[in-house]
Amino acid sequence: MQARPKVTPLTRPNRTRSHVPPLGVRTTRDGGIDVAVLASHASGVELCLIDVVAPEKDQHDPARYAERRVTLDGPTYGVWHGHVPDVPPGQRYGFRAHGSWDPGAGMRHNPAKLLLDPYARGYVGDLAYVPATLRGGADDDGGPDEQDSLPFVPHAVVLDGLPEAPPLTRPRIPWADTVVYEAHVRGLTQQHPEVPEELRGTYAGVAHPAMIEHLTSLGVTTLELLPIHASTAEPWLAGRGLTNYWGYSTMGFFAPHAGYATRAAQEAGPAAVLDEVRGMVHLLHEAGIEVLLDVVYNHTCEGGDDALFLSWRGLDNPLYYLHDGASPAALADVTGTGNTLDFRRHRVVQLTLDSLRYWADVVGVDGFRFDLAVTLGRDHEGFTPDHPFLVALQTDPVLSGLKLVAEPWDVGPGGWQTGQFPAPMAEWNDRFRNAVRSFWLEAPQRGSRGEAMFGMRELTTRLAGSADLFGHSDPPLMRGPVASVNYVTAHDGFTLADLVAFDRKHNEANGEDNRDGTDDNRSWNHGVEGHAPGGDDAATEPWSAVVPLRRRSQRNLLATLLLAAGTPMLTAGDELGRSQGGNNNAYTQDSPVSWLGWDLDPAGRDLLATARFLTGLRAEHAALRAESFFLGSPRPGEEVPDLLWFDDSGTSMDHDAWAVQGRRIIQMLRPGPDAGEADVLLVINGGLEDADVTLPEPLTGAGPWERVWSSTWDTPEGPEQADEAAEPGHVVLESLSVDVLVARR
């Protein structure tokens, strides 16, 4: 017979309330706690106070624990609540929900299962994947499984009022000046030689001076962290000894993931983990760096009905999860994870807003990137930009002033919505990614056929800020090009180095027979699949011909990203030449495959210097940081258009010129927006042949064109001095290259 934790007799709370307290568990001045949990379909809910009475026993041994149960009052508007005296900070707890077990009607109440508080701010313990937690709370016959899950699931922990923190001073970087850097907490510093070993791969490590120096020297203004909400691996991954390294499997929306804290903080408990996160944010703020969190509110770690039974499924399955309408038991899945949170329910919207405000107000972060954000804007008819959740983000006095970024798609009907989110939200621009990759990689790989297929029109639209996607808000043009978060790579997909070295994905290490990950890579291996065996400095054939072209392609991609109108996002490690060995879906790889390597070869140091130069060029010249869409004509009080396009002969582009199919040479002139600011000319040759390009005449009042950078240069200084004037009137532009020229005033 299974051993069970010791259970004391049921008690009643000693105080009732005439109103519903805030959801979650909060300490009170009398040494007790106020408790409130949503379980609108339950017939009763118990608060379970858990004590470790035999610490010498394994954490999954039932004899390790004793349990005290308190029956909560309610339901009041679906909430069960009470006040419990004499509960100190650090107390472990959970809930047990009583009610009907009728999976056909969506009801899955099972008091044998200890349930996590959706509002818990900290957890202890890990998840043991035993049958009791893997079948949605059901036994082999479909009835409620009676095995007590208490020893096999994490426990929520009561946290006291938070310690004093320095006043919150946000950097508040203007969107036009923003450079985003997407990174993973562990992967960023796990191998950094200047970060002390005990801090590597941790929140504290992210804020170490060596890391801050790297970010600031790279011109990064805004650090976007992959999910740091408490998460757990899916059962099928754990069964293969793998983990969900990226963290897109949320277990708690209010608690930081303890595995990214230092060992000392983990041993001290959840309050210390939270304090380390807050300390990281504070130190980054002191360095002038904003912190955005990648947040996953579209689904939970519980997966499909036959998967985990941890929290939401046992408390209120019909309310929390989206169902397909044909059956109350059938989950609708527009996220590809087995479940979808139902944003038609005001309590789901409340949970999300409460979580966002907590991370903004208490932890101090500066904004959020919303994973699969279309799910968050779905009502009964599908996606709408007027969804109550999106309206709340626009109007909330705290959240509306933060940086809010949507991943504007999910896998449901009408799931692609790039450009459809309301101000003040920005959006990942997949059209930018596809256009840049197709122009610089897919087209030359296909030769003359590719040149005809992927001409200039799509690329120039993206270079100018994607007004076709983001220029139709109400009032018109309100968001501007900064709403377009431009990127060429992200955490999912090839790294920059792999994008130029692999034609095909190589995901065998993920254990899915290379079926996972996208096949639409738009990459180019430049003739040989993979990296040179001895490193990319190999001088033997075919590498001596392939490697220099690959390096130039990386510089072309970086320049297009960092000099286009819009908000650029770099992926951590791209500036170092990081490779994942061709894995374009490394979500299971908590290993050197995903971690940044900091031991750079000469090519890596040159690439880093180039990335730093390009971000510096962007910061130096206001012409490269457009806040509003270009008109293509003079603005009020100006004499010249705010954007000019020229062909290879230096002739202004007219309608007929734009209609030429397969055009691969273009000149983009962006005048300085204010007196005394330099004009910038981008000269692009996407063709397979060198070209003699006639430059346009400098604008009135500007000096001669100076070539300050070329993607043909291995280092920013190049073979010429950076301030050396280009030959008057023209440049010889090598194939597949970008030149940047400046006319100073």
Q: Comparing C-alpha atoms, which of 520, 521, 514 is closest to residue 500? A: 521
Q: How many whole angstroms separate alpha carbon 622 and alpha carbon 637?
A: 18
For 727, residues 6+ apart whose C-beta sits below 8 A from its C-beta are: none
Q: How many whole angstroms separate alpha carbon 151 and alpha carbon 174?
A: 49
Inter-residue contact 226 to 246 (CB < 8 Å):
yes
- 3-class state of residue 290 by DSSP: strand
Distances in whole angstroms, Cα of residue 307 to Cα of each of 202, 205, 328, 536? 30, 34, 17, 45
Q: Is 202 exposed, middle or buried (0-12, 13-18, 19+ CB in 10 A)?
A: buried
Inter-residue contact 340 to 272 (CB < 8 Å):
no
Distances in whole angstroms, Cα of residue 93 to Cα of each of 56, 124, 565? 20, 10, 51
Q: Comparing C-alpha atoms, which of 390, 393, 439 is closest to residue 417? A: 390
Q: Comparing C-alpha atoms, which of 387, 616, 243, 315 is closest to residue 406? A: 387
The distance in angstroms from the start CA to the end CA of the chain is: 86
Distances in whole angstroms, Cα of residue 467 to Cα of each of 480, 621, 631? 8, 22, 10
Q: Is 437 exposed, middle or buried (0-12, 13-18, 19+ CB in 10 A)?
A: buried
Longest Cα separation, the chain? 91
Give bridge partners of residue 740 from the DSSP assignment: 682, 709
CA dihedral 136, 139, 145, 151 (to 10 degrees): -70
- 3-class state of residue 652 by DSSP: strand
Q: How many whole angstroms separate alpha carbon 340 and alpha carbon 393?
A: 20
- 3-class state of residue 489 by DSSP: coil
Q: Comparing C-alpha atoms, which of 706, 645, 709 is closest to residue 671? A: 645
Q: Active-site residues: which are they?
A: 371, 407
Angle at 222 between CA 605 and CA 471, to 5 degrees: 110
Q: How many whole angstroms separate alpha carbon 547 and alpha carbon 49?
A: 62
Please tell me the number of Cα atoms within 13 Å of 628 on its side-chain side: 8
Angle at 349 between CA 344 and CA 355, to 5 degrees: 155
Cis status of the peptide bond prior to 62, with omega within 30 of 0: no
